[in-house]
Amino acid sequence: MSYQHMLLEVSDGVALVIFNRPDALNALSPALMEEFADILDKIAADETIAAVVLTGAGKAFVSGADIEAMSRFQPLEIREYVARGHEIMFKLESLPQPVIAAVNGFCLGGGNEIAMACDFIYASARARFGQPEIKLGLIPGFGGTQRLTRLVGKSLAKELCLTGDFIHAEAAREIGLVNRVFPPDELLGKTMETARAIAAKGRLSVRAVKHLVDRGAGIDLRAACALEVEAFTNVFSSGDAAEGLNAFLEKREPNFKGTYKS
């Protein structure tokens, strides 16, 4: 697939994915969503990609749904659009590689829902977050009521979804929606720095951590810890673990291969 509304750049094991409809503040048209889904499939299948960064061109990360396109939908069409949006959010969330959202500007509605489906969020000090659908007589449609609740708790999720208010990056950090806030001209560089640091680690251990945190968060603690025992055993038997331990003992940097073989 050729892309009109998305950009994909891969270097040093990091995929940089850019929402590229700056004139429309990167609004989520059906065409953009399908391009995004195709990129996610490519990333999932590419073993050379160890980490992913999402960001937006221009003044927005993603400003939300394409309201003009959505206003033309009939009820069954809107159901298909929303269901497809959920499929794509789960596709993003289930990527084996860690994904960092670099939120450079407006991150509203569907944009906030995309950011929340990433593993964590770094933000520009100019970023603004919100679920403003209530102001249109609507509700969040791509998982906003659910992922926001899991990230910030019921009361704050209800407040944000019921008022439709925007919050600044620092406020988003204070409530646990955002991990770190940077000056605008440092955001992408700092995010790529973290992504490259993750990409330099052993791929098996990175993917195990992501899987364990995601899977364990929704189950009983004892069962989750049992998953960690099994995962630790598997990772310990890998060539990467042997290399990491030997490198430590030999006081050198490890050369991870991302394989279970020695």
Q: Give the CATH number for residue 155.
A: 3.90.226.10
Establish whether 230 is a catalytic residue.
no
Q: Which of 133, 159, 170, 228 is catalytic?
A: 133
pTM: 0.95
Q: Is 222 found in the same domain as 99? A: no
pLDDT score of 103: 98
Residue where one domain finishes, among candidates 141, 170, 199: 199
Q: Per residue of the chain (262 residues), give pLDDT as tens.
A: 899 999 999 999 999 999 999 999 999 999 999 999 999 999 999 999 999 999 999 999 999 999 998 889 998 899 999 999 999 999 999 999 999 999 999 999 999 999 999 999 999 999 999 999 999 999 999 999 999 999 999 999 999 999 999 999 999 999 999 999 999 999 999 999 999 999 999 999 999 999 999 999 999 999 999 999 999 999 999 999 999 999 999 999 999 988 766 5
Strand partners, 180: 122
Collapsing DSSP states into helix, strand and coil, what is residue 252?
A: coil
Q: Which of 113, 159, 174, 243 is catalytic?
A: 113
Q: Which two tokens stand for residue 184?
A: 């605008």
* 255 found inside a domain: no
pLDDT score of 261: 60
Strand partners, 130: 108
Domains: count for the chain: 2
Q: Which residues contact 53 (CB under 8 A, 6 or more apart)?
A: 14, 15, 16, 17, 99, 100, 101, 102, 188, 191, 192, 195
The alpha-carbon radius of gyration of the chain (Å, integer) is 19
C-alpha distance from residue 6 to each of 2, 33, 234 (Å): 9, 9, 37
Domain limits for position 237: 203-249
Establish whether 68 is a catalytic residue.
no
The CATH number for 220's domain is 1.10.12.10
pLDDT score of 258: 80
How far apart CA 152 and CA 158 sit, in angstroms, is: 10
Q: Is 138 found in the same domain as 219? A: no
